[in-house]
Amino acid sequence: MEKTVSLFQGRQSLLSHGKLINISKPLIMGVINVTNDSFFDGSQFRLKSRIAHRAEQILAEGGSIIDIGACSTRPGSIPVEEKVEIKRLTKALSVIRKKFPDTIISIDTYRSNVIKVMQSNFGIDIVNDISAGELDAQMFQTVADLKLIYVLMHMKGTPSNMQENPTYEHDIVKEQFGFFTQKIEKLKLLGVKDIIIDPGFGFGKNADHNYTLLKNLESFKLFELPILAGLSRKSMIYKLLNTCPSKAMNGTTVLNTIAIQNGAKILRVHDVKEAAEVIKLTEFLSNQPKIQ
């Protein structure tokens, strides 16, 4: 068993413009939404003072990456115009880059032009694309040209229709294997080497799909690429528990723990302190001997 696990340890670091990001241990990606319609109100930050405070909080509580989104992709959402997205991101990044110039920045967008503008004006590190290039044919080439780290996420449909009875012809894990294999090959042919894979919990999946992916998350270690898990306060938690996003913290912690134990290297979260505790405890546990 130990020998098999060692074969699929995968990448231990990611590179962005000479900046080496160590992923030998799990990292936390803290969310800042500069939208007005996120599914979780507690993640919305539109005033400059609140954006600055939130960025400081993420870093102080153990976050390594700040993920900024300015166009909601919650189920049923209608996308804002590109110029609105750029304006919102410009406000957020002007604050964060001034106060925390060396922070690892991820931009949550599926628009290649948004990435070009943000990289040109502020310098960013990661593109977090929910569509895996499906919503913008220029995204892969843009990431390659700008030499950025790319989060390759699986989504079935679009944010406006993805949760309208999502179905899969085959086993969802097997289907995602085919999806990731094809996309990774395209990215590597363009010269993109620093890739993170994300199964896309809640993006075109029902509860059974989501929990099947979580239970089999370790299977994706075969790609030898870091796995990102974005489970924080999602409907797969609060609907099953008959509650709401604001009361889904405990469920989020449970699923983040399972994700780490099943191979996740990055947790994308709204609650950084709690995620940091998950990582500290699971890492300590993993280093303890198993008595035969």
pLDDT tens-place values along the chain, 292 residues long: 343 344 456 788 999 877 889 999 999 999 999 987 554 454 456 689 999 999 999 999 999 999 999 998 877 778 899 999 999 999 999 999 999 999 999 999 999 999 999 999 999 999 999 999 999 999 999 999 999 999 999 998 777 676 777 788 879 999 999 999 999 999 999 999 999 999 999 999 999 999 999 999 999 999 999 999 999 999 999 999 999 999 999 999 999 999 999 999 999 999 999 999 999 999 999 999 989 8
For residue 234, indicate whether it is catalytic: yes
Residue 79 and residue 98: Cα distance in Å, rounded? 28
**CATH architecture for the domain at 25-157+166-281:** Alpha-Beta Barrel (3.20)
Matching residue, tokens 């604050």: 95
Q: In what order do the strands lie in the sheet with 195-198?
A: 195-198, 149-153, 126-129, 104-108, 65-69, 27-33, 266-269, 228-229
Look at residue 3 in the predicted model and tell me its pLDDT: 36
pTM: 0.92
Nearby residues of 164 by Cβ (< 8 Å), 6 or more positions away: 157
List C-alpha distances in Å: 245 to 72, 177, 242. Answer: 16, 30, 10
3-state secondary structure of 152: strand
Tell me how far CA of residue 13 lies from CA of 16, 161, 225, 245, in angstroms.
Answer: 10, 36, 10, 33
Please tell me which residue in 54, 88, 221, 268 is annotated as part of the active site: 268
Helical axes 139-146 vs 112-122, angle rounded to 10°: 20
> Catalytic pick from 156, 205, 234, 265?
234
Q: For residue 268, indicate whether it is catalytic.
A: yes
pLDDT at 162: 67
